[in-house]
Structure 1
Amino acid sequence: MICSLWFSSLANAADFVGSFACKSCHEQAFKDWQGSDHDMAMKHADEQSVFGDFNQITINHQNQQYRFFKKQESYWVNLADRQGKLTDYQISFTFGYYPLQQYMVEFEDGRVQLIPFAWDNRKVEDGGQKWFYLYPNNSAQHQDFYWLNAGQNWNHMCADCHSTNVKKNYNPQTNRFDTQFAEINVGCEACHGAASDHLSWANDSPSKNANNEGASSALVIAETPFKGFDRTLAKSVAQWQRSNLGSARSSSENTAKPLAKQDSQQLQTCAQCHSRRLQLNDKEPLVTKPFGDRYQLNLIAQAQYFDDGQVYDENYVYGSFLQSKMHENSVVCSNCHNPHTTELILQGNSLCSQCHEPATFDTSEHHKHDNNTGSLCVNCHMPETTYMQIDDRRDHSFSIPVPANTQRLGSPNACNQCHDDKSTQWAIEHSTSWYPELNTFVPQHFSSAFASARAGNPNSVDALSYLSQDHQQANIIRAAAIERLQQFTGRNGIVAIARAVKHQDEMLRVAAVEGSSPYTIAERWQMLAPLLTDEVLMIRSQAAAALANYWQQLSSQQQAQLEAPLKEYIEILSFNADRGFARTNLGNLYANQGFANKAEASYKASIDVQPNFAGAYTNLADLYRSQGKESAAVQILEQGIIAKPDSGTLRFSQALALLRSKQNDAALKSLKMATKLEPNNGRFWYVYAIALTPYSIGEAATAFNKAYQVSGNPQYLFALCELMIDNRSPQSLQCLNKLTPLVPNNVVEDLKARLPN
């Protein structure tokens, strides 16, 4: 258990000496760090760390009472277990402190889980100093954020960022954890790296040891870079140049420019935690190595970002920041934040005025507001999104607010976030009166291509291809464009992917793996084969995994080329084997290689470790179907629906299995439920419409139309037009008029030829 391993973990990590070893020489930095977000990231639960009220507090939630209390010096909570039985659990650790504090329970199998209640640590006048249920809409046992499920597991979800030098130590065979760390919170060495050599450097010097036996070792220490550390966290720009010319010049001319740059590992060091990513291993921390040797960064994915790049779901800053002009100009975190206090180094617009001439930007002529909240740079260029009910976090893409994008794309705008009593049209009119070009549609902006791709427009392939090759765009945007090409095929797409494979930025290269997915194995092999020996672990392993999907079609020579990177891919899956996705992906690999028994075992193991992971059930059902075991496929899908009743995918797979078994009525019910659970899935509506056609033309037409409306896929509109023509609908011509600009002329002409005379 973690508590008992505190000292042994330090002994096992000899190069890590602990933050208190830094105090004597770095007194001010240590003082700044104490009480900071990093210091309070995780603590043993005691009188100094616990802010919540555990004085026999009882609260009601969903017709059940929960208690927070103390036993001598320990803290306890009375919660319902999986069987609904109220059970006393000891609080082992605290998590964070402001604006909320969370608490964790440690189990005998090494698992550490966050309880579902959090303490609102804001002031009473701000609505704080009370317990609240953290995820009220995601609390059922089949949901990820139920407190005993994987979504609230510290070992996988949180540990790597909230403690120092974490080793997860998950045993796939026993399904147990032996997670250890060098320091319980985010200490000095979490950022600076192991400090033992730095201490040697500080205590020894070549001059002091020139005449003794320690001279050679001291010389070695002295010659190590960065005073015994393996990295520098200095600012990337050593000197800025600013014109100070005032408002007579353009905005660009009144913004400081980097004059002298220097090597720094600061941004990548911060990004390890302040990013949305999948951890691939917990080997030595990154310094100058590629980010993808330890993590797989989430690009500008449709599920986490709006099409204009604004953050929707949590991305923890880095993905937004990589889009920004700040990043383009080598700004790093410490240009704005004190890394020890984690607070801003200056308040208000003074922070931005370090680079942006206040005579130009900090004026009503620029921001069009009086001296109020609207005049603050961050409120327009870094709007807040609230997570965990009370935690406001700013968007770090530093974008310009465009209210018209709310109409075009459905993304938020900073104007209406403040003026929430006003309409979007009001915001458009006011901002246009200030900046006439602001709300003008710019087809070259990446949001146009992203919105088109989200709608499933086949013509998106060209826009995405051009975007991915636009050197004026941030690399993360170009990579996201490549990733979105997985929905489409086309000559320009092939060219874009081929160039991405050769790009120096690892984000574009790994995106090419996804972007190539709709092509044939021959085409895909030609595209991705160079990546099998890529210098970055993430890229070569993902390329191998993608090509292994076609294992039976590969030559023995090609299979041999996959052997080494597939071994690394399996190591990544083994590291993440505490999660259903990893064991399911391993099952997929075995299934493609023809190892049915191993595949079945992996899928079942996935269900064991994460019963609510829908993909394990659907893939196991597909395996059974390929073996002619239709009844077993239906049975496993039924088991999955019990474990994950809100999954539309499971209902859809069940419907397909029932259709194959000629159980059409039951299949229709499952399809209807699938569309209800996932109403924005066009494919579900499309298949539902096909299944409805023999029974009700009207309902089928409605379903085809819904499929097109939610996806924008012309194939679904084509199916609707064909249905109307075949059934002599008076609206057939109207449907064809809508289809005409979306498909080749010959397609429309063929349909028109079938119209009744």
Structure 2
Amino acid sequence: MGAKNLILITIASFLFAATSCVQRSKQEVADDGFSGSESCIQCHERFYELWAPSFHGKAMQPVNAGFVKEYALPESGPMTIEEKSYEIVYEDSSMVMTEKKDDELLRKYTLQWSLGGRNVFTFLAPLEKGKLQTIPMAYDMNRKSWFNYPESAVRHFVDQEQNDEALPWKDRMYTFNTGCYNCHVSQLSSNFDLATDTYKTTWKEAGINCETCHGPSAEHVRVCMEAEEGTVPDDLKIIITSTFTQEQHNSSCSTCHAKGNPITESYMPGELYFDHFNLATLEDQDFYPDGRDLGENYTLTGWKMNACVTKSELHCVTCHTSSGRNRFKETPNKACTSCHSDKVEGLVAHTMHQPDSPGSLCVNCHAPSREFVGHFIRSDHSFRPPMPEATIKFGSPNACNQCHTDKTPQWANNIVKMRPNGNYQNETLYWAQLIKEARENNWTRLDEMLKIVQENKYNEVVVTSFIRMLVNCPDERKWETLLAAIKENPSPLARAAAATSLGGNLSEKAKNALVAAAADEFRLVRVSAAASLATFNESQFSEADKNIVAKATDEYLKSMVARPDDWSSYYNLGIYHQNQGDAHKALESYETASRLYPESLMPFINSSVLYSYVGNQAKAEENLKKALEVDPGNEAASLNLGLLLAEQGKTDEAEKALLTALEANPKQAVAAYNLSVIVSQRNMDKAVQYATIAAQARPDEPKYAYTLAYYQLENNQKATAEKTLKKLIADHPLYLNAVSFLAEIYTRDGRIKDVRALYEKALKTEGISAQDKSAIQQALAAINRQG
């Protein structure tokens, strides 16, 4: 078993960061004409007064004497975190976090900045290498208490038996420079130095300022100041958001209010989201299968599931001011009744609640605010009605039980089903169950999933989710659906997903479709196509194609370093170089990813495959063991280590590693198959057992059933082996090894008529090659000569 048989772990073209982040180069920040929010006061005093105290204006605040006086947060008392004691105390006018071990003071951290404040305040303290780190203690403004911030990020995923462990508070994911900067400050430059892994981060202004939405204002201020009194310049030299289209408004807000990742280094208001960002959909475990938020998803994904958005001109600024306030805070139902006027007269019948009760407010049923992970409150922007049956099936929240906490979801579901349109949940329940099955790699109902994509049913989030998860589907029926989606789907998100999921398909059809996508109007589609085109040889492209691919590839390579401090950028760059056949650059990129974030598994795993391929078995083994130090039960690392050790003849160690992989995934066919080979030398019963697992897990791979039949025969189970081979031939009639094997069994038993019938049937198989046909005819002639 050669190194090429190790499992290469790939990911979609982009990893999703916790938030969407954009940065500007140092030169742009210095010379791009941004003049700061105070330059707006003279002409726009009223707007400034509204913005300054808003949660946009105060998205990040210095923790100084003014902050201490305004908020007067209490000291915390000691809190045990990661086996140390932490405490927030005041020293003079400063807030300080102390770190102790067994009552010995280890370190003091002076809090420099605060983030948020609507529901939770988090705080930043300086660490080494220019990092601003989110401290492990945050303040709940509603409960008026301090809490363990890293633990608040731990969620119990529905399909897991145990919670994830909290990340250490000094983990890179909690570094402000890395994860949350540009949604809390304005006109930022991270000034990251890759060689030293250090930051010299700067920004123009704390908080989200006027120029975040209107662009640089220096020229605007100049032309207005130079204009004659009482006149307005024809060209105001600034971005006028009141002229934005629905998509421009949504895009402008979504740069922060989306769980996505950047594919460019900068964004200017008015440009479109999918020219600069990717977006998480329901393949992400931070969503319940029905699309409700389980983790922090920042609105846009749910918003794109909103029928009001797709059927009207509704956009973010319809309901919110540019400073983030609710336009309809005093009259909330007016946000909805301007379109849904029929509900005004029949409000009680529609809501089943009395007027002026909480249940008569549209938002309480259609956009309920929900607390998750104990402290954070977010509103559901999908605007869907309550679905208590989804709570029963998937554990997702529903508005009925958020208010009626003393009642069960079954109680709520019974009431919902008594409504005139009581079956409204059925559609969501149907596709959500399919989402759940696709997440579990259960492709039993693949035809139904493909139909959803083919007919572009429901909404672009649901369709994109299925397209993305098809990457893991081994059934080749998916290809035609993906080829159609990349050409015909109106959503750039779906087309980009199809381009990614076509990766590895080296057919002419796939190549042509990907080349066409590389010239798509949206950058996200182009770079996704370029990633998949990297697996093709340049000689397969025409001269015209080469120009298209070269431009898209240039955009793709730039997209991967839009976040130069993100380990996943270098991981994906490694995959690109590996597909290009440049092992040296690929390994360099993987090692950079591992250096930036040693807790990341995938660079270790993929680099091990490549080290093995170039003949450095020791380094391959070392990196796999490093991966297992991070996650001892990891399926991919255990599987690859087992295959590597087996190749080196270390069968005892290989067996142990492969067993770990099989324990992690009881349907891990490669592990089961290789275990059957290893144990067959001493225990044929076990060999049959493992071969059975492999054959059942991957009925599409005929060699597994063939191996099972071989071990069954060796284990004196001839009748069972014969049955296995008959089924294999029925399922894979062109797999002629099975025909030869069964013919051999028949021949040993002197069943010449059965051999003849088997060969004659094989000759009639549609699609059989001329070479195979000739071989069977010769074998049949030999049988006939025997009489």
Band the TM-score falls in, shorter-chain normalisation:
0.7 to 0.9
Q: For residues 25 and 561 of structure 1, do their structure 2 counterparts lie closer, same or farther at Cα, with a shift above 3 Å needed?
A: closer
Q: For residues 559 and 608 of structure 1, do their structure 2 counterparts lie closer, same or farther at Cα, with a shift above 3 Å needed?
A: farther
Is residue 200 of structure 2 the alignment partner of residue 178 of structure 1? yes
Q: Which residue of 1 aligns with 2:432?
A: 447
Q: For residues 599 and 519 of structure 1, do their structure 2 counterparts lie closer, same or farther at Cα, with a shift above 3 Å needed?
A: closer
SS of the residue aligned with 1:78? strand
Q: Which residue of 1 aligns with 2:596?
A: 609
Is residue 562 of structure 2 the alignment partner of residue 540 of structure 1? no
Q: Quick one: distance in 2 between partners of 1:407 and 1:691?
A: 44
Q: Which residue of 2 aligns with 1:258?
A: none
SS of the residue aligned with 1:48? helix
SS of the residue aligned with 1:323? coil
Contact 1:534 1:540 in 2 (8 A): yes
Q: Which residue of 1 aligns with 2:237?
A: 228
Contact 1:233 1:264 in 2 (8 A): no
Q: Quick one: distance in 2 between partners of 1:690 and 1:426?
A: 51
Give how far 1:579 is off.
Answer: 2.0
Q: Which residue of 1 aligns with 2:768?
A: none
The partner residue of 1:318 within 297, 300, 308 is 300
Contact 2:692 2:705 in 1 (8 A): yes
For 1:97-496, list aligned pairs within 5 A: 97-122=117-142, 127-135=143-151, 145-205=167-227, 222-224=233-235, 227-233=236-242, 265-287=248-270, 289-328=271-310, 329-340=312-323, 342-347=325-330, 348-357=332-341, 359-360=343-344, 363-370=347-354, 372-407=357-392, 411-419=396-404, 422-435=407-420, 437-438=422-423, 441-442=426-427, 446-447=431-432, 449-458=434-443, 460-470=445-455, 473-488=458-473, 489-490=475-476, 493-496=479-482
SS of the residue aligned with 1:228? coil
SS of the residue aligned with 2:377? strand
Give how far 1:200 is off.
Answer: 3.4
Contact 1:193 1:230 in 2 (8 A): yes
Q: Which has the larger radius of gyration?
A: 2
Contact 2:125 2:134 in 1 (8 A): yes
Q: For residues 554 and 36 of structure 1, do their structure 2 counterparts lie closer, same or farther at Cα, with a shift above 3 Å needed?
A: same
Q: Which amino acid aligns with 1:511?
A: A
Give how far 1:555 is off.
Answer: 6.1
Q: Which amino acid aligns with 2:320?
A: H
Q: Quick one: distance in 1 between partners of 2:666 and 2:371?
A: 24
Contact 1:532 1:565 in 2 (8 A): yes
Give how far 1:321 is off.
Answer: 0.5
Q: Quick one: distance in 2 between partners of 1:41 and 1:229?
A: 23
Is residue 628 of structure 2 the alignment partner of residue 641 of structure 1? yes
Q: Which amino acid aligns with 1:37?
A: F
Q: For residues 434 and 48 of structure 1, do their structure 2 counterparts lie closer, same or farther at Cα, with a shift above 3 Å needed?
A: same
SS of the residue aligned with 1:49? helix
SS of the residue aligned with 2:64? coil
Contact 1:552 1:593 in 2 (8 A): no
Q: Which amino acid aligns with 1:339?
A: S
The partner residue of 1:43 within 30, 52, 61 is 61
Is residue 563 of structure 2 the alignment partner of residue 563 of structure 1? no
TM-score by length of 1: 0.78
More divergent stretch after superposition (458-467 vs 531-540): 458-467
Q: For residues 471 and 27 of structure 1, do their structure 2 counterparts lie closer, same or farther at Cα, with a shift above 3 Å needed?
A: same
Q: Quick one: distance in 1 between partners of 2:289 and 2:217?
A: 43
Give how far 1:543 is off.
Answer: 1.5
Q: Which amino acid aligns with 1:291?
A: Y
SS of the residue aligned with 1:75? strand
Alignment coverage as a number of residue pairs = 691
SS of the residue aligned with 1:549? coil
Contact 1:119 1:132 in 2 (8 A): no
Q: Quick one: distance in 2 between partners of 1:178 and 1:63?
A: 31
Q: Quick one: distance in 1 between partners of 2:141 and 2:428?
A: 46
Contact 2:387 2:425 in 1 (8 A): no
Q: For residues 281 and 171 of structure 1, do their structure 2 counterparts lie closer, same or farther at Cα, with a shift above 3 Å needed?
A: farther
Contact 2:239 2:269 in 1 (8 A): no
Give the percent of matched residue pairs that are identical in Structure 1 and Structure 2. Answer: 22
Give how far 1:581 is off.
Answer: 1.3
Gap regions ≥5 residues in structure 2:
1-25, 156-163, 746-787
Q: Quick one: distance in 2 between partners of 1:22 and 1:680?
A: 63
Q: For residues 270 and 683 of structure 1, do their structure 2 counterparts lie closer, same or farther at Cα, with a shift above 3 Å needed?
A: farther
Q: Which residue of 1 aligns with 2:110?
A: 90
Contact 2:669 2:698 in 1 (8 A): no
Q: Which residue of 2 aligns with 1:60?
A: 80
Q: Which residue of 1 aligns with 2:3?
A: none
Q: Which amino acid aligns with 1:232?
A: T
Q: Quick one: distance in 2 between partners of 1:441 and 1:95?
A: 41
Q: For residues 87 and 687 of structure 1, do their structure 2 counterparts lie closer, same or farther at Cα, with a shift above 3 Å needed?
A: farther
Is residue 46 of structure 2 the alignment partner of residue 28 of structure 1? yes
Q: Which residue of 1 aligns with 2:511?
A: 525
Q: Which amino acid aligns with 1:23?
A: I
SS of the residue aligned with 1:651? helix
Give how far 1:268 is off.
Answer: 1.3
Q: For residues 568 and 85 of structure 1, do their structure 2 counterparts lie closer, same or farther at Cα, with a shift above 3 Å needed?
A: farther
Q: Which amino acid aligns with 2:139?
A: W
Per-residue CA deviation, residues 307-350 of structure 1 (Å, 9 max, x unaligned), is: 33323332210111011112111211222223325235234545
Q: For residues 609 and 563 of structure 1, do their structure 2 counterparts lie closer, same or farther at Cα, with a shift above 3 Å needed?
A: same
Per-residue CA deviation, residues 612-639 of structure 1 (Å, 9 max, x unaligned), is: 1111101110011102322321112112
Per-residue CA deviation, residues 36-81 of structure 1 (Å, 9 max, x unaligned), is: 2112211222123354747584333454321323444433222479
Is residue 659 of structure 2 the alignment partner of residue 650 of structure 1? no
SS of the residue aligned with 2:203? coil
Q: Which has the higher contact order (CA 8 A, sep 6+)?
A: 2
Is residue 615 of structure 2 the alignment partner of residue 628 of structure 1? yes
Per-residue CA deviation, residues 368-416 of structure 1 (Å, 9 max, x unaligned), is: 3456544443333234443442112122111133333345555444444
SS of the residue aligned with 1:343? coil
Q: Which amino acid aligns with 2:273?
A: F
Per-residue CA deviation, residues 416-457 of structure 1 (Å, 9 max, x unaligned), is: 444455554444333212246426744996435534533435
Q: For residues 714 and 707 of structure 1, do their structure 2 counterparts lie closer, same or farther at Cα, with a shift above 3 Å needed?
A: closer
SS of the residue aligned with 1:265? helix
Q: For residues 610 and 138 of structure 1, do their structure 2 counterparts lie closer, same or farther at Cα, with a shift above 3 Å needed?
A: farther
Q: Quick one: distance in 2 between partners of 1:587 and 1:111?
A: 26
Q: For residues 12 and 527 of structure 1, do their structure 2 counterparts lie closer, same or farther at Cα, with a shift above 3 Å needed?
A: same
Is residue 601 of structure 2 the alignment partner of residue 618 of structure 1? no
Q: Which residue of 2 aligns with 1:216?
A: none
Q: Which amino acid aligns with 2:528?
A: Q
Q: Which amino acid aligns with 1:91?
A: L
